[in-house]
Amino acid sequence: MFSSGTIIAVVAIVMGCLVAMIESKHKSQSRASRGQLEKLQQELQQARKQTLALQERVEVLEKIVTDSGFDLKQEISRLG
């Protein structure tokens, strides 16, 4: 039949192929994960910018509404 050296060589080749396949799969998943991470970071940055812009708008609206002249303008509008 086969000698023990031949069997060991075949097993080593098969194991080497399995390791190479697993590493290849891991690398492709890693690349995909990096791409997803970059996309999520960009979306987070956009959300932060939008949040800041909305906070600024709310501050402006709060100033307008709490301004003493605002009530007077409302009354004038109702009369006119």
Q: How confident is the model at residue 43 (pLDDT cuts 50, 70, 90)?
A: very high
Backbone angles phi, psi at 2, to 5 degrees: -95, 145
Average pLDDT estimate for 5-12: 84
* Helix, strand or coil, per DSSP, at residue 67: coil
Q: How far is CA 77 from CA 20, 33, 47, 69, in A?
A: 77, 58, 37, 12
What is the pLDDT of the chain when averaged over all its residues? Answer: 84
Q: Which amino acid is at 62?
A: E
Query: In angstroms, what CA-CA distances link 59 with 46, 66, 78?
Result: 20, 11, 26
The predicted model scores a pTM of 0.51
H or E stretch at 69: helix 68-79
The total of structural domains in the chain comes to 1
pLDDT attached to residue 1: 62
Output Rg (C-alpha) for the chain, integer angstroms: 34
pLDDT average, residue stretch 44-72: 87
Residue 18's domain comprises: 4-79
- Which residue did the predictor score with more confidence, 48 or 64? 48
